[in-house]
Every structure is written in C-alpha cells, then in structure tokens.
Amino acid sequence: MKKRRNIIFILLSLLGLLAIILVGCNQQKTPATPQEAVNQVKNAVTAATYVGNDTCQGCHADKFTAVPHTKHFTSFKPLSDYPMAQTLGPITVFDAGNTDKPTSATIDLSKNTVYGVMMDDYIVAQAPTGFKDKYYRVAAVEKSGDKWNVKPASQKDMDNDGKPDWVAESAQTCVTCHASGIPTGSPTAGFSCESCHGPGGVHANATFADKKTTMKISTAEEACLNCHKSDPVKDKQGNFTTDNHHGTRDFFASKHAQTGEINGCLTCHGPHKANASGVLIKKDKPVDICNDCHEGKLNQAKIDQIMWKNPSDAYGHITRDHSFTAMKYEDLGDDPATKPVEIKNQTIIDLIKKVLPELAK
C-alpha cells in the first residue's frame, strides 16, 4: 500500500510539473508581427522627450547651414535678439479674455517668463496667475531706426477709469504653429526640427544602428498641413470662406490634390532650404517650378492669375491661392469689402460638400 501511495505521489508530481511547463510555454512572448513592431516604434517616438535644435545640430549640421535662413525658423525669436531703445522692465496688462471681472497683472519683460517674439511683432509670455489661458501676447515690438521699442499689443479701457490699458491677448492657438516648442516644453521655444519630426529624445540617445527606427519621418501632409491648413472654414453665418491665414489656401480643390499625381507639398516646396527670397520653394521663381511639368506654357502674368491673392487681405503676408484655377477669385461671388473671401459660387460649394463632407454638415 505504501509503495502504491509513493507511485501515485510521483505521478501527481510529474503531472504538476508538466502543467507548470505547459503554462510557462503558453505565457512565452510570441514574436511581434510587422504591424506590432511598427506600433512599438510609434509608441517609443510618442513617449520621447523634446531635446531642441542644439541636440539635432550635433549630427545634422548640414541642415543648419540653410534652415536658420528660412521664414519658418525666424518666425519666433528670443526677445534678446532685439536691441532695445529702452531698458526692459515691468508692464501691467489686463486679460482680454476676462471681460466680466477685469484682471490685471504685472509682468517683468526682463525675466524668463517671456518666451520670445512672434513674427517680429508680438511678445509672447507665460500667463500670470489668474489669467484664463496659458500663453499671451502681452506686448509688441516696433522698430525705429536700428533699435526696437516696446508697445502695447492691444489697448482698451478694461477697468473703466477713462484711460486705455495694455491688454494681453491670448496666444493659445498662435503658439501651436509659430512657437510649437512652448506647449511641448522643448528647449527650442520657436520653430524647430521637432516641429515637423516630433520629439527626438529616443532618436538622440539611440545607437547608430537604431537611429532610423526611432524617429518619425512625417509625410508632407502630416508635417505641413498641420499648420498650413488648406480647407475652407465656416463663419458664424454658415458661409464657407477660404482660410486666408494658414497659407495653402484651397489646395483641396485643385486637380493636383484630387488626382494624387504629385508628391503633395514637396513637389514644389523644400522643407530645409529657402530660395533667394527666403521662401521654401525649390526655385527662385515659382513659374520655373510650374514649367518643369507644364512644358513652358506659363509666365508670371498667368501665375498671378492662377495663384491669386486675397484683394482685401489686411497684412499682405498671406500666401497665394493654391487651388490653381479651380477657384478663381472673380467666380467666387465674394464681397470685396470683407476681409474673408466668401465662397458663394454653387459649383465650389458642391465641390466642398463632395470633397469635405464633414465641413459641409
């Protein structure tokens, strides 16, 4: 009997060991599928920290011989780049977004709460305590001779004392493109490599063999159209209007966009080098780029018609229409007295509803 119990015990022990082995085998990690491997790379890139331009420049010095001369790069600069006619110090500003309860604060422009200057115009700073948004255009700069002066970004009698106050306007949406390093906490506050390529911390610390798998190489549509939005917008009255601010106005309507026969933005534009005019296109004259494909059929006069500018634009720095004859200004039914270009032409409205059904809702 004792011998039989020993045999049963041994058999049960062997069965238990076999069960443990089988469970362990089932729990072993199976090799990742190609898609899982891609997702792992994406997750690593997403989790990366922002390292700033100085880190990128260490390996990509060739790009930095050209990039600093682009309008992208110079769209946001440190306040220290502007030689001032007066010593910087405290200013008192009101929160433009708080009209129910006027809220003011004193900001010292000589301190590091100031991020920099956007488009050689607005001084962008961290929001003071009690302000509604995170980032504000607290003041502006204006050149006089070889020096710069600080002036209000906006003025209004906020406290009803009969005197105009300095008003800080929200820069919440502005910094998303003009100073993308601010909301991400990058060492480079303004436009940087990481504005298009994403955070580079994992890439910078990877071995040489792993470099390519640790950096997101964005398509032109991802990198460019995040900021240079092409689609129309709707006003409060429900009118479709061309998006004048972002630059690639109405590219969605062009045959270039709809046929997919070109390499998107990068057919005409180069991301790292400006032409002689400081514009990110591959040749000094836009017409020369067109004629590469259109067999010399275009001249500058035709380009001015094909790529029209909003005649009511208040600033003059807005780029040309990119629908390439699909949306001729004179055919849109726009009221020239308004700054937005209203789209009243039914053919174009039908095209919007077809190509951009979400916008048409």
Q: Are 200 and 302 in contact (CB under 8 A)?
A: no
Question: pLDDT tens digit string along 107-120?
Answer: 999 987 899 999 99
Whether the per-residue pLDDT at 43 is higher than 80: the answer is no
From the number of C-beta atoms within 10 Å of its C-beta (0-12, 13-18, 19+), residue 315 rates as exposed
Give SS3 for 22: helix
**Residue at 27: amino acid letter:** Q
**Rounded mean pLDDT, 316-338:** 85
Whether the per-residue pLDDT at 23 is higher than 50: the answer is no
Question: pLDDT tens digit string along 199-224?
Answer: 999 999 988 888 888 877 667 667 88
Whether the per-residue pLDDT at 35 is higher than 50: the answer is no
Tell me, what's the pLDDT at 115? 95
From the number of C-beta atoms within 10 Å of its C-beta (0-12, 13-18, 19+), residue 188 rates as buried
Tell me, what's the pLDDT at 143? 95
Whether the per-residue pLDDT at 29 is higher than 70: the answer is no
Q: Which of 7-11, 193-197, 263-267 has the highest mean pLDDT?
A: 193-197
Q: Residues of the chain with pLDDT > 90: what percent?
A: 37
User: By mean pLDDT, which of 53-62, 161-170, 238-247 is the weakest?
Assistant: 238-247
Domain boundaries of the chain, sorted by first residue: 74-181, 233-355
Tell me how long the chain is. Answer: 361
Confidence bin at 314 (pLDDT 50/70/90): low
Please give the DSSP secondary-structure letter assigned to residue 281. Answer: S
Tell me, what's the pLDDT at 183? 93
Calpha distance 66→64 (Å, rounded): 5
Whether the per-residue pLDDT at 25 is higher than 50: the answer is no
**Residue at 28: amino acid letter:** Q
Whole-Å CA distances, 38 to 35, 121, 197, 219, 221? 5, 42, 16, 16, 20
**Rounded mean pLDDT, 136-160:** 95
Confidence bin at 41 (pLDDT 50/70/90): very low
Confidence bin at 121 (pLDDT 50/70/90): very high
Whether the per-residue pLDDT at 37 is higher than 50: the answer is no
Tell me, what's the pLDDT at 123? 97
Tell me, what's the pLDDT at 180? 92
Q: What is the mean pLDDT of the chain?
A: 83
Q: Could you tell me how far CA 171 lies from the centroid of its own chain?
A: 14
Give me 349's structure tokens: 């409205």
Secondary-structure breakdown of the chain: helix, strand, coil percentages, each rounded to the nearest 5 = 35, 15, 50
Choice between 199 and 63, residue whose per-residue pLDDT is larger: 199
Please give the DSSP secondary-structure letter assigned to residue 86. Answer: S
Whether the per-residue pLDDT at 90 is higher than 90: the answer is yes
**Rounded mean pLDDT, 68-79:** 88
**Rounded mean pLDDT, 54-65:** 88
